[in-house]
Structure 1
Amino acid sequence: MNTDLLLVLGLLAACVALFIINRPRMDVVALLAMVALPLTGVLSVPEALAGFSDPSVVLIAALFVIGNGLVRTGIAYRLGEWLMRSSASSETRLLVLLMLAVAGLGSVMSSTGVVAIFIPVVLSIASKMQVSPRRLMMPLAFAGLMSGMLTLVATPPNMVVHSELRRAGLEGFAFFSFAPIGLTILLLGIGYLLLARRWLGPSSGSDPLIEPRDTLAALAQRYRLPERERRLRVLPRSPLANQALDELKLRTQYGINVIAIERQQRFRRLLLIATGNSQLQIGDVLLVDLASPAIGLLGAYEELGLEPLQLSTSYYGDHSRELGLAEVALPPDSSLPGKTVQALGFRSRHKLNVVGLRRNREALQGLLVDERLKAGDTLLVAGGWKHIHRLQGMSRNFLVLSLPAEVDDVAPAAKQAPFALLGLAVMVGLMVSGLVPNVIAALIGCMVMGLFRCIDMDSAYKAIHWPSLILIVGMLPFALALQKTGGIALVVSALIGLFGEAGPHMLLACLFVLTAVIGLFISNTATAVLMAPVAISTAEQLGASPYPFAMIIALASSAAFMTPISSPVNTLVLGPGNYSFADFLRIGVPFTLLVMLTSVLLVPLLFPL
């Protein structure tokens, strides 16, 4: 063992120790390692910085952008809504469906991309179902890793092993050669995580140290809106048809404030935020706020040709993607106290409706058009989210308080959803066909989304999780350092010498362990490159079939469950799941042993020795 190897191993051990205690942050440790390696003399500065040009790093950054495009267009949340509806508020059913969906998608596209896409979906579902993200994020990552065991194109190590077989003059693996073993491991993984999730924390997603955010329902209840909400259809005989709201004076004469309009248009139903210029049409359904719940008893509906419709839940909740609520306070230097609500001209100036007013912590009743404002009053405004956001910039007269939790689910580019699907389909198609490298396929997908305005440049840069990329970039040089100093070759030679005569099953287990351990420190692709020739030559020396040995390397390369840095998908969920290094050790090590046992038993049955 030479001095350079001792230096690299010492530095690697120091990094692992800092990762375990999580001080300083992992990305800072990676930067320190990247600086220290050239100082040892083992690597040059260009070699230490080569991770910045690594295709996998660019691929991960592009996949963050792709995932954010699906979020901005609402596709990710629609998928989340499907998962939530299908799970019927059952955390167990949600976990099962989530892992099956992630593994299925990951079998034909990058598992890193799938996990990046699902992270905001899972966070949204966890918030709505009051489930701790800690109990879902690790199953999400593990499902992404297990997807690599399902098809030939699911992960680069599979292709590396396949290519090594072809170079040896043998027939490679078929597209679904991995599927029987991968599906078995996936089912075992689902069962294991259903049991192991209790070690990740309580089922409740609440944190006593963090005050929960308001929801639309809570805001509506605080201002006593539910008792005044109505849905009214415009009948053919209605005198309101084909007239603008400002001309009708519904608020002043009838105490009816129209908040939004549901309108059927061809094959879809639109929600139009009401403004003074909004023209009513026959068949429109008006979402209104009444001055008094008893207004319908006064004959106003009959006079106006309006038909009351059933309203089982608040329409703010039904239309939370388009219609929002926000509390607006009056700062001390505001010029608004003393003016009436009507004089504010919220509808004409800001395209928002004042639907509530609180004074001395009490909600005042009615539409309040003639109510004069006082210092300390808080208004509740309703309207489109973009107009609420625009109001945030008017700090002189208004102070928009914290927005309700539903604002996180708003899709600012919802109309571009078909084009986001097109971009995703182009990326997946190119990845599956192999016409271009995966990184080029992902960049083309990003450009398609950008071309059709699914995402803009500012959003794209914000979408990239830079700490994760820095962590990966900082750890990549260790692969080259270990190769240059002979560290990996030394360990492999020792292992073959010790267990080469112990029988093929024992050797399969040893190869699995060695591949999994090396994969803790370097990428699974690099691990497969190093170990595939060793496995095939070992099989030749034993006079055995090379296929079970090659398969065990591919499976072990995907079994990166033990640490948060052993795979990019683990790194991705580290922050959202609020995990520590020890969490992955506690959950990942037993499962890796289970995967090893299953692989060693099944591989010789499907690929005879």
Structure 2
Amino acid sequence: MDAKAWLTLGLVGLMLGLLATSRWRPVWVLWGGLSFLLALGILPAEEALAGLANPGVVTIGALLVVAAALQETGGLDEAMRFVLGRTRSIPEAQGRLMSFTAGLSAFVNNTPLVALLLPLVSAWARKMRIPPSQLMIPLSYAAILGGTCTLIGTSTNLVVQGLLLKAGLPGLGFFEIAWVGLPCCLAGIAYVVLLGRWLLPNRQPPVSPLDDPREYTVEMMVEPGSPLVGRTIEEAGLRHLPGLYLMEVDRNGQVLPAVSPKERLQANDRLIFVGIVESVVDLQRIRGLKPATDQVFKLDSPRSERCLIEAVVSDSCPLVGRTIREGRFRTLYNAVVIAVARNGERLRSKIGDIVLRPGDTLLLEAHPSFVDQQRNSRDFFLVSRLEEAPFPRHERAWLALATLGGMAGATALGWLDLLQASLLAAG
């Protein structure tokens, strides 16, 4: 071998070592290695950039856009609540999660799918006090197994498809590999469910959000015309929410305490919940529920640009001793109080009728600039933004799901090839 070959081997070894240390992001290591070979003239520019024009790479990028649309619209949130919401054992949770994930992975590339489901599954596991390790590995395996059932299931399938077409051979059909992939998928799911309790690690996170003693009081309203109207509280999935308790229902001024799970929801019902902050955030993502205060719709910025913020009221706050409604909180701070927590005390008043005290923790909906504006303010002791708390655009969820179905259908029926269908879907 000549010097260029030895240099290339040495660079590959160095890259593997850097990747193993996890001190640098893989994209930096790989791009740095490519740039080094390109600068030394070992790798021609045409070959260095050829991968960017590969149909398989472009297809994966388009599928990532489709997956992001499902996340931004909350298209998978309700499905995940149905899949995992009422499981009674870890094997049952694993079976339901893997079946759901494998089915999706057959039509969505497994890499963006796992990235999409990971925070949802992790949050649910923490709330149910299930070790996340009991679900994370099954989630990954299910995505891999489901990807073996269709052409678009994994990036490997797409690369093989590209090589076949480049060699002048007929490409694979959309479901052609399912004859082998589907039996392997079913066998893999059964193996994990039956033997997972002995094979999977049982690691608990060192600190659980549920150890936080703060209980927020939050008031939500059932939107007229929403899917929740006419359902019982149990059918709507509001009875056994992890980390959350439905304290009472206010219906046209009449308070219904100790609400029966058979009680049917009506339009404009005001639901008073008590629970931890993570569960209160989840409430904002349930389709058909909205904050009971109409002040949310009077903020300057669109809701898609807002975030949730925690703020602790100081003794210098001008609103101390006044109710949230009397203090005109929105007018003063351009933010809306969604929930209130007070030293573990269970507040039974409506949000607008709560009299603020020093030390109260407020969950606010506001523009991200609120954090910088109030960080050094004397009105609040502490101001922090809650990460991963977006407001899904539920009104467009049907469009995201229809686009995904149309992409898969057009490819399966042979009307479009995968690259064309994925680019149209991403557009």
Letter in 1 for 2:283: S
Cα distance in 2 for residues equivalent to 1:309 and 1:162:
66
Residue 10 (str. 1) matches residue 10 (str. 2): yes
| Aligned-residue offset at 1:78 | 1.1
Letter in 2 for 1:320: L
* Shift in CA distance, 124/59, structure 1 to aligned 2, threshold 3 Å: farther
Letter in 1 for 2:209: P
The match for 1:83 is 83
Deviations 1:80-136 (A, max 9, x none): 1122036x1433223223333333333345334443443343333333333444443
TM-score by length of 2: 0.66
Letter in 2 for 1:19: L
The match for 1:92 is 91
Letter in 1 for 2:128: M
The match for 1:414 is 394
| Aligned-residue offset at 1:392 | 5.1
Letter in 1 for 2:97: L
Letter in 2 for 1:36: F
SS in 2 for 1:201: coil
Larger Rg: 1
Residue 311 (str. 1) matches residue 259 (str. 2): yes
Deviations 1:204-248 (A, max 9, x none): 3x224xx62788x9423xxxx6xxx9xxxxxxxxxxxxxxxxxxx
* Shift in CA distance, 340/65, structure 1 to aligned 2, threshold 3 Å: same
The match for 1:144 is 143
* Shift in CA distance, 156/14, structure 1 to aligned 2, threshold 3 Å: same
* Shift in CA distance, 89/442, structure 1 to aligned 2, threshold 3 Å: farther
| Aligned-residue offset at 1:148 | 4.1
Cα distance in 2 for residues equivalent to 1:21 and 1:305:
61
Cα distance in 2 for residues equivalent to 1:362 and 1:151:
51
Q: Aligned runs of 1:244-255 on 2, under 5 Å?
A: none
* Shift in CA distance, 428/180, structure 1 to aligned 2, threshold 3 Å: closer
* Shift in CA distance, 331/393, structure 1 to aligned 2, threshold 3 Å: farther
Deviations 1:38-91 (A, max 9, x none): 2453202453344444444443343333222212222211121122036x1433
| Aligned-residue offset at 1:186 | 2.0
The match for 1:183 is 182
Residue 269 (str. 1) matches residue 217 (str. 2): no
* Shift in CA distance, 65/334, structure 1 to aligned 2, threshold 3 Å: farther
* Shift in CA distance, 132/367, structure 1 to aligned 2, threshold 3 Å: closer
2:328 to 324, 327, 345: 345
The match for 1:37 is 37
Q: Aligned runs of 1:163-562 on 2, under 5 Å?
A: 167=169, 177-194=176-193, 195=195, 201-204=201-204, 206-208=205-207, 212=209, 218-220=214-216, 259-262=219-222, 264-265=224-225, 269=229, 287-288=249-250, 306=254, 308=256, 310-311=258-259, 315-316=272-273, 320-321=283-284, 322=289, 328-331=311-314, 334-337=317-320, 343-346=326-329, 352=336, 358=342, 361=343, 363=345, 376-380=358-362, 386=365, 395=374, 396=377, 397-398=379-380, 401-402=383-384, 408=388, 411-447=391-427
| Aligned-residue offset at 1:413 | 0.6
Cα distance in 2 for residues equivalent to 1:8 and 1:136:
40
Aligned residues with identical type, % of pairs: 25
2:63–2:108 CA contact under 8 A, matched in 1: no
Letter in 2 for 1:15: M
Deviations 1:344-369 (A, max 9, x none): 124777685697674xx585977599
Deviations 1:235-262 (A, max 9, x none): xxxxxxxxxxxxxxxxxxxxxxxx4544
Letter in 2 for 1:41: G
TM-score by length of 1: 0.49
Letter in 2 for 1:146: L
Cα distance in 2 for residues equivalent to 1:446 and 1:39:
34
1:103–1:144 CA contact under 8 A, matched in 2: yes
Residue 118 (str. 1) matches residue 137 (str. 2): no
| Aligned-residue offset at 1:197 | 7.5
Cα distance in 1 for residues equivalent to 2:118 and 2:45:
35
1:67–1:116 CA contact under 8 A, matched in 2: no
Cα distance in 1 for residues equivalent to 2:7 and 2:90:
47
Cα distance in 1 for residues equivalent to 2:80 and 2:354:
43
The match for 1:579 is none
Q: Which runs of 5+ in 1 are unaligned?
A: 230-258, 271-285, 289-300, 448-609
Deviations 1:374-429 (A, max 9, x none): 6x432546xxx74597865762445675577xx85664311221112122223323
Residue 127 (str. 1) matches residue 126 (str. 2): yes
The Cα RMSD (Å) is 4.7
Cα distance in 1 for residues equivalent to 2:84 and 2:326:
44
SS in 2 for 1:269: coil
Letter in 1 for 2:328: G
* Shift in CA distance, 9/328, structure 1 to aligned 2, threshold 3 Å: closer
Task: Kindly tell me the number of residue pairs found equivalent between the two proteins.
Answer: 367
Cα distance in 2 for residues equivalent to 1:53 and 1:213:
47
2:67–2:116 CA contact under 8 A, matched in 1: yes
Deviations 1:315-344 (A, max 9, x none): 436981245797542357644457665641
Cα distance in 2 for residues equivalent to 1:196 and 1:355:
40
* Shift in CA distance, 131/61, structure 1 to aligned 2, threshold 3 Å: farther
* Shift in CA distance, 388/308, structure 1 to aligned 2, threshold 3 Å: farther
2:174–2:411 CA contact under 8 A, matched in 1: no
1:7–1:40 CA contact under 8 A, matched in 2: no
Q: Which runs of 5+ in 2 are unaligned?
A: 231-247, 262-270, 274-278, 292-307
| Aligned-residue offset at 1:5 | 3.5
Cα distance in 1 for residues equivalent to 2:123 and 2:424:
28
Higher helix proportion: 1
* Shift in CA distance, 109/389, structure 1 to aligned 2, threshold 3 Å: closer
Letter in 1 for 2:313: L
Letter in 2 for 1:96: G
Letter in 2 for 1:308: L
* Shift in CA distance, 403/201, structure 1 to aligned 2, threshold 3 Å: farther
Letter in 1 for 2:360: T
Q: Which structure would you say has the larger RCO, counting Cα contacts within 8 Å and 6 or more residues apart?
A: 1
1:338–1:373 CA contact under 8 A, matched in 2: yes
Letter in 2 for 1:377: G
SS in 2 for 1:75: coil
Deviations 1:128-172 (A, max 9, x none): 3334444433433333333343245643256458659984xxx88
SS in 1 for 2:85: helix
2:222–2:290 CA contact under 8 A, matched in 1: no
2:249–2:259 CA contact under 8 A, matched in 1: no
